Amino acid sequence: MTQLVWFKRDLRIHDHTPLFEAAARGPVLPLYIVEPNLLQSASMHPAHWTFIRASLIELRDHLARLGQPLIVRVGEAITVFKALQEAIAFTHLWAYEESGNGLTYARDRAVRRWARSVGLPFTEIPQNGIIRGRLDRDQWSSHWEAAMNAAITPTPDVLPTIDLPIGAIPTHAELQLAPDEMSKAQPGGEAAGLRLLRSFLHERGETYTRAMSSPLEGWWTCSRLSPYLAWGTLSARRAYQDTLGAQAALAALPQAALGRWPSAYRSFTERLAWRSHFMQKLETEPRLEFENLVTTYDRVRVGEFNVGRFNAWEHGQTGYPMIDACMRCLAQTGWINFRMRAMLVSFAAYDLWLHWRDFAHVLSQRFLDYEPGIHYPQLQMQSGTTGINALRIYNPTKQAIDQDPNGDFIRKFVPELASVPTTWIHTPWLMPSDLQRRLGVRIGREYPAPIVDHDRQYTLAREKLGVIRQLPETRLQANAVQERLGSRRKPRRAPRSRKSSISQDQLPLF
Ligand SMILES: Cc1cc2nc3c(=O)[nH]c(=O)nc-3n(C[C@H](O)[C@H](O)[C@H](O)COP(=O)(O)OP(=O)(O)OC[C@H]3O[C@@H](n4cnc5c(N)ncnc54)[C@H](O)[C@@H]3O)c2cc1C
């Protein structure tokens, strides 16, 4: 009666329902399959394997303490299952439903077909409040809330040991992956995620709502939980319920002692809801990874790929200091806050007129938290191809001034601008040429001149997309998108005084 639990993007023992359900029915074989074709695919980076690998080492240890360490096998999923069937006849396969990308979606379908063909029961348990199959969008929020408020699944007390080689957890070299050069990325593991959750809820997070848009303050005050949620070393339900717990504890404090915590907790749980809201879109419309949601946008940006602009953006050489600092920050750390991600996409999509499909992989590789269900819908939304969102074209200089007024972030990640005075740090191309010479920062030599003129590109992009947006066919399709995938919440109004600064990180999204 051996039960096989297949760990994928759920690398933890806390709040793990397949593990608990399997353990209630017989001895458990906990398995992780290292799939070279996924790790070597275009959306992945060696840093992802560093994070996953560390998480697997810890998971193996946690499971060993319960009695049965994690089994690791390298290869294609069905081949691995067949080999394990011969070694130890397991009678039931368990996993979480995964709202993944095209590759994992196809793999999961193949595994389901195979399990059916050999008469093996395969139970996939929903997670994150996401609904597979027929979806009633009007009921989605209450469904999500019920899922988040359901009891945390207990960890089994003990797992009987099964006599089977556990298998090595391969290194980058063994998997023929390039060395991981993302030197300052967050470490993997369940303990690290839980520690971060605690420090966010009780120490770091008070200024979250106010400061999340700054790449400098956000580094500290944002939860930084995204990679842990993405690879499942932290359960979203655990994050949600711990936040409610912290929120409830505020009731015992006098008003004066509350500080900004109530707002921080509210903003954070809203974002956990957005997370699932976005993932639901890809679950419902897997084509989102490949196609524009509204097909009338297919006639823009296609055939206009400009390799010079693409390379400059990718390598942080656009001449716009904030864009370059963010791209270089991502290359080193694997993280940047939401506002800056949106700005990077806006710049690529509107200023450089690149198709989101052409740069999706650059970002998925650099986001340690690559989560297909958030990534692709966000890319489309920030590129203006959903048909249902206002165009949000960020001015990279305004964002730099608003979010990094002293230029500290820019100087940190664009060291060639380190000596530039604050007056010029956001617009170094306007520096007088004698100052450029004195500082040794000659625009066009030590640092590039802007590769495009933002104001001009802004106007062009609005014109081109405005034409498409007005087409009756666009409106028809956009209505259908709203009906199928759109949020049912009314957008919250931005306060008047903030109207000019795009406050989309405060708005419910499409
Ligand atoms: C183009 C683009 C691509 C993105 N790709 C990803 C991705 O691959 N993986 C990913 O986790 N996030 C992605 N995001 C959303 C967001 O930028 C990150 O979740 C956030 O910056 C991670 O930092 P944090 O954990 O400190 O977030 P916090 O602000 O502390 O938020 C807590 C959690 O809520 C979720 N969340 C926060 N903001 C959003 C949002 N706008 N939409 C959906 N979920 C949200 C994340 O799971 C996050 O970890 C993307 C945003 C954009 C604009």
What string of DSSP letters covers 246-312?
A: HHHHGGGS-GGG-TTHHHHHHHHHHHHHHHHHHHHHHHH-GGGGTS-SSGGGGGSSTT---HHHHHH
**Ligand 1: centre distance to CA 338 (Å):** 6
- Residue with CA closest to ligand 1 atom 24: 224
Q: How far is CA 277 from CA 129, 244, 351, in A?
A: 9, 19, 28
CA-based nearest residue to 29, from 50, 13, 7: 7
pLDDT value of residue 135: 78
**Ligand 1: centre distance to CA 226 (Å):** 6
d(CA 46, CA 176): 10
DSSP SS3 for 125: strand
pLDDT value of residue 496: 40
pTM for the whole structure: 0.95
Best of 378, 383, 394, 503 for a ligand 1 pocket test (most atoms within 8 Å of beta carbon) = 378
Task: Assess contact for 216 and 325: CB atoms under 8 A.
Answer: no
All residue ranges of the chain with pLDDT < 70 are 488-510
**Ligand 1: centre distance to CA 1 (Å):** 41
- Residue with CA closest to ligand 1 atom 6: 375
CATH fold label, 191-284:
1.25.40
d(CA 258, CA 275): 27
Question: How many CB atoms neighbour CB 231 within 10 A?
Answer: 26
Best of 200, 219, 226 for a ligand 1 pocket test (most atoms within 8 Å of beta carbon) = 226
Task: Assess contact for 148 and 241: CB atoms under 8 A.
Answer: yes
If you ran DSSP here, which 8-state letter would residue 29 be given?
E
Residue 69: both structure tokens together: 């360490």
CATH fold label, 2-125:
Rossmann fold (3.40.50)
Specify the domain boundaries for CATH 1.10.579.10 within the chain: 287-487
Atom of ligand 1 nearest to the CA of 277: 43
Atom of ligand 1 nearest to the CA of 272: 34
**Ligand 1: centre distance to CA 74 (Å):** 30
pLDDT value of residue 387: 82
Best of 101, 127, 231, 275 for a ligand 1 pocket test (most atoms within 8 Å of beta carbon) = 275
pLDDT value of residue 179: 96
**Sequence-separated (6 or more) residues with CB below 8 Å from residue 202:** 246
Specify the domain boundaries for CATH 3.40.50.620 within the chain: 2-125
Residue 182: both structure tokens together: 């993302």
Multiple choice CATH, 287-487, 3.40.190.10, 1.10.579.10, 3.30.70.270, 3.30.1700.10: 1.10.579.10
d(CA 132, CA 143): 12
**Ligand 1: centre distance to CA 209 (Å):** 14
**Ligand 1: centre distance to CA 73 (Å):** 31
pLDDT value of residue 490: 58
- Residue with CA closest to ligand 1 atom 37: 271
Ligand 1-lining residues (CB < 6 angstroms): 212, 222-226, 229-230, 271-272, 274-275, 278, 337-338, 341-342, 345, 367, 369-371, 374-375, 378-379, 382
Task: Assess contact for 36 and 80: CB atoms under 8 A.
Answer: no
Q: How far is CA 101 from CA 43, 282, 353, 370, 437, in A?
A: 10, 8, 25, 11, 50
- Residue with CA closest to ligand 1 atom 47: 226
pLDDT value of residue 489: 66
Task: Assess contact for 81 and 193: CB atoms under 8 A.
Answer: no
**Ligand 1: centre distance to CA 268 (Å):** 11
Residue 224 — left, alpha, or beta (φ > 0 → left; ψ -120 to 50 → alpha)?
left
Which residue reads 């359901």 in tokens?
Answer: 150
Q: Give bridge partners of residue 135 from the DSSP assignment.
A: none
**Ligand 1: centre distance to CA 98 (Å):** 18
d(CA 394, CA 339): 10
First-residue to last-residue Cα distance in the chain = 46
- Residue with CA closest to ligand 1 atom 8: 370
